[in-house]
Chains A and B, each alone.
Chain A
Amino acid sequence: AQKVTQAQTEISVVEKEDVTLDCVYETRDTTYYLFWYKQPPSGELVFLIRRNSFDEQNEISGRYSWNFQKSTSSFNFTITASQVVDSAVYFCALSERDSSYKLIFGSGTRLLVRP
């Protein structure tokens, strides 16, 4: 069965601190995709990154970086030098090869960045 676990319910940091959001997934499929989405107070889910199961290369995009480790079934997300605008709920999600439109979401991590 597929499952995504985000153990951190809420994280509070002071602006400019680095913060890592954890994501652990379960799947029996060998081909799968992992995603991170951000949900600001306005409600819509904003796509941040997609990673497929064959690509374990870490990725950096500005202040954001992602660490994908198949050995530990983890896909963690780090924000460097956090800003108040980063405050949102962040969701990790999994989709499998034969269900491209069906995302299995984690419960989300609420990040509060204080000035």
Chain B
Amino acid sequence: KAGVTQTPRYLIKTRGQQVTLSCSPISGHRSVSWYQQTPGQGLQFLFEYFSETQRNKGNFPGRFSGRQFSNSRSEMNVSTLELGDSALYLCASSLEVSNSGANVLTFGAGSRLTVL
């Protein structure tokens, strides 16, 4: 059973550019969430999608956006990149057995973004 796949694994951008990251969840998983990991702020929740709808968003500026397609694949976009956006972006999928806090998230290996 394939795990959560994230592409690209590594990328370098310059300030002001935009970037799109992709995530393919485990087959059958309908919930996809995104996290940002930095040395200073640690792991922080970005947003979560279920059945193409964003259900919740973390405390990030509007430059961070995402979407989910009908096949549950998800993309996140960061526009007008800043140096502080350099991070490991992790995608996680969940089977969504119940909306009760009990769901286990399965993470991908992440996309490491460097902004110069």
A-B contact count (CB 8 A): 76
Task: Give the distance in Å from the alpha carbon of A87 to the alpha carbon of B100 in the complex.
Answer: 32
Identify the stretch in A12-20, A60-68, A69-77, A94-102 within 8 Å (CB) of chain B at 4 or more residues: A94-102
Residues on B with beta carbons closer than 8 Å to the beta carbon of A45: 90, 92, 105, 107
Number of chain B residues close to chain A: CB under 8 A: 33
B56 at the interface (CB under 8 A from A): yes
Using a CB–CB cutoff of 8 Å, the interface residues on chain B facing chain A are 3-4, 31, 33, 35, 42-45, 48, 50, 55-56, 58, 88, 90, 92, 94, 96, 98-110, 112
Using a CB–CB cutoff of 8 Å, the interface residues on chain A facing chain B are 31-33, 35, 37, 42-47, 50, 52, 91, 95-108
17 further A-B contacts with Cβ under 8 Å, apart from A100-B94, A101-B48, are A32-B101, A33-B102, A37-B107, A43-B88, A43-B112, A44-B107, A44-B109, A44-B110, A50-B104, A96-B101, A97-B100, A100-B96, A100-B100, A101-B55, A101-B92, A104-B45, A108-B42
